[in-house]
Amino acid sequence: MVSGNGSATVVKQAHVAAESVFPPVFESRFSAGRGLRLIREDGAEFLDGVSGTFNVPLGYDHPKVVEAVIGQLRKCAHMSSSYSAPYARSVLAKLLRAAPANLDAGWMRDLTGSTANECAIKIAQKSTGKRDVLSLHHSHHGQTIFTTSISGQSMRGAAFPMVNASSVKVPAPYCYRCPYDSVYPDCGLLCAERIYDAIQHGSSGSVACMIVEPVLGNGGNIVPPPGYFSAVAQIAQDTGMLLIADEVQTGIGRTGQLFACDTFGVKANIVTLAKGLGGIGIPTAAVLMEQRLDVLEQYEHSFTSGGNMLALAAAEATLDVIQESGFLQQVRDRGRFLERHLRPLAENYSCVGDVRGLGMMWGVEIVGPGKRPDTDKTNRIIRCAEVSQRLLLRGSKYGFGNVIKVRPALVATEDDLVEIVDRLARAIQEVEACG
Ligand code: PLP
């Protein structure tokens, strides 16, 4: 489709060589992490604007999580998940008490978001007896063969013969580059409406579920417009498919609520969590679901290190911290503070096409003339931020690689946030000055 909205250029961008999507390999060797900062071996401090891989929401050394993990390590690092199950149940109970009301069962035998998503899809397929998985263009659901197959970007699967397009992918609610070349709200939410067509004409006729990131994280921090999720929920109800919210990035406070489902008022049947659940980067994951969907046998989804005791200790301590009185209110306040500082970038620099997000989850879209995604400039800004500003940032590999993610730890102070935006602005300036 040729579009005044950048879609034609975007189609060409799909052919951009993978290496230009990835920024150059960084060479810093870090030996310690303190709060929002990583310390290089020579003592130089780097401010982390993306909290690791968005999985360090409490900073690198939050004392309550560190103590919980060390305390558990002294007692016992691991026992078989059959024996750690009671401890997993107590973490799940804590999660479920704070989860959207329809979720009242859980599974905690995963350590990564990828396998948690596979677990959710097994649940959907087994409980519905159906097969297909709907997902969004630009989505990222993991790096196993199956989650690579259902993710909405071919670049990461191209080398692997077993990755197939067995899922049905539908356009994302990407208003800045509307896939239907329309404008909200006159568009009538075509991005949701056309899902009926995809099910009718593009699926096998046996659709088990649709999996959606409430905010498409790696795809470019795409925030759906109002009404999108209620339209999708209606489609799910009309077609008998389940709705899975992949909250691997958005969960555990990132959008200002413990669950982004609550932020958007989405009633998903299944929710997956990982990343932030470990607080300081300890790997752990969870799947929450409606009781009627608690259909898996233990032998159908369980890993050697799933339900690991250190992971459970980290998750429990993380939930305690995030549920402390005032914590999430502070995330919402700081999120608005960050927004106020980030938005002017779009007025001050012509290469900043859009600034979008919520809570502590923001994206800065870098463009050339005609809103053309400028992946090269994005990578240069990220590189310059690290090398000359000592600010760590990441790009949107599942979109066009031209969105700079800004996702600080949830414990960032206002001074940290000002410092992140100032250093980003200086990096943009420096790159702009070089042309
Ligand atoms: N889902 C989303 C939304 C993600 O962002 C990621 C990782 O970036 C995953 C799933 C996969 O999680 P993991 O890398 O822990 O397997």
pLDDT in tens, 221-275: 999 999 999 999 999 999 999 999 999 999 999 999 999 999 999 999 999 999 9
Where is pLDDT greater, at 254 or 9?
254
Percent of the chain with pLDDT over 70: 93
Flag whether pLDDT at 101 surpasses 60: yes
Residue nearest atom 12 of ligand 1, based on CA coordinates:
113
Report how far ligand 1's centroid is from the alpha carbon of 108 (Å): 16
Which tens digits make up the pLDDT trace of 266-300?
999 999 999 999 999 999 999 999 999 999 999 99
Nearest to 165 by CA among 150, 187, 143, 144: 150
Cβ–ligand 1 distance for 248 under 6 Å, the answer yes
Residue 11: per-residue pLDDT? 44
Cβ–ligand 1 distance for 177 under 6 Å, the answer no
**Sign of the torsion angle spanned by Cα atoms 16, 19, 20, 21:** positive
Cβ–ligand 1 distance for 119 under 6 Å, the answer no
Where is pLDDT greater, at 332 or 16?
332
Cβ–ligand 1 distance for 274 under 6 Å, the answer yes
Flag whether pLDDT at 188 surpasses 50: yes
Q: How far apart are CA 17 and CA 22, in angstroms?
A: 9
Residue 397: per-residue pLDDT? 83
Give residue for tokens 């002017």. Answer: 344
Report how far ligand 1's centroid is from the alpha carbon of 407 (Å): 15
Cβ–ligand 1 distance for 55 under 6 Å, the answer no
Q: How far apart are CA 115 and CA 274, in angstroms?
A: 10
Q: What does pLDDT average to over the chain?
A: 92
Report how far ligand 1's centroid is from the alpha carbon of 185 (Å): 31
Flag whether pLDDT at 19 surpasses 80: no
Region of 326 please: left (phi>0), alpha (psi -120 to 50) or beta. left
Cβ–ligand 1 distance for 142 under 6 Å, the answer yes
Give residue for tokens 């060589």. Answer: 17
Cβ–ligand 1 distance for 136 under 6 Å, the answer no
Q: How confident is the model over 26-38, as a mean pLDDT?
A: 90
What pTM, to 2 d.p., does this model score? 0.94
Cβ–ligand 1 distance for 218 under 6 Å, the answer yes
Q: State the amino acid at position 386 in one-letter form.
A: E
Instruction: List b or e across 386-403, with b for residues whose CB sees 16 or more CB atoms inside 10 angstroms.
Output: beebbbbbbbbbbbbbbb
Confidence of residue 17 (pLDDT cuts 50, 70, 90): very low
Report how far ligand 1's centroid is from the alpha carbon of 175 (Å): 23
Q: How far apart are CA 213 and CA 313, in angstroms?
A: 26
Residue 215: per-residue pLDDT? 98
What angle, rounded to 10 degrees, do the helices at 81-98 and 309-322 form?
10
What angle, rounded to 10 degrees, do the helices at 327-342 and 309-322 form?
80
Flag whether pLDDT at 21 surpasses 90: no
Measured from the Cα of 285, ligand 1's closest atom is 15
Flag whether pLDDT at 27 surpasses 70: no
Which two tokens mark 365?
């879209």
Which two tokens mark 330?
């502070």
**Lowest mean pLDDT across 5-14, 30-39, 330-339:** 5-14
Q: How confident is the model over 52-57, as a mean pLDDT?
A: 97
Q: State the amino acid at position 32 in one-letter form.
A: A
Flag whether pLDDT at 4 surpasses 50: no
Residues contacting 130, CB < 8 A, separation 6+: 124, 206, 207, 208, 240, 241
Which residue ranges form the domains of the chain, and what is each CATH number?
4-61+326-434 (3.90.1150.10), 63-322 (3.40.640.10)
Report how far ligand 1's centroid is from the alpha carbon of 431 (Å): 30
Report how far ligand 1's centroid is from the alpha carbon of 116 (Å): 9
Residue 8: per-residue pLDDT? 44
Cβ–ligand 1 distance for 13 under 6 Å, the answer no
Output the CA–CA distances (angstroms, integers) from residue 405 to 1, 159, 397, in the order listed. 28, 26, 10
Q: How confident is the model over 140-161, as a mean pLDDT?
A: 88
Residue 274 is given by DSSP the state -
**Lowest mean pLDDT across 59-73, 338-352, 388-402:** 388-402
Measured from the Cα of 139, ligand 1's closest atom is 3
Measured from the Cα of 274, ligand 1's closest atom is 15
Confidence of residue 9 (pLDDT cuts 50, 70, 90): very low
Residue 24: per-residue pLDDT? 53
Residue 25: per-residue pLDDT? 54
Pocket test for ligand 1, best of 51, 56, 138, 275 (most atoms within 8 A of CB): 275
Flag whether pLDDT at 346 surpasses 70: yes
Q: How far apart are CA 48 and CA 55, in angstroms?
A: 12
Cβ–ligand 1 distance for 246 under 6 Å, the answer yes
What angle, rounded to 10 degrees, do the helices at 327-342 and 414-434 form?
30
Residue nearest atom 7 of ligand 1, based on CA coordinates:
142
Residue 6: per-residue pLDDT? 45
Report how far ligand 1's centroid is from the alpha carbon of 240 (Å): 26
Flag whether pLDDT at 26 surpasses 80: no
Q: How confident is the model over 146-170, as a mean pLDDT?
A: 84
Q: How far apart are CA 414 and CA 404, in angstroms?
A: 20
Q: Are 172 and 140 in contact (CB under 8 A)?
A: no
Burial of 224 (0-12, 13-18, 19+ CB in 10 A): buried
Where is pLDDT greater, at 29 or 213?
213
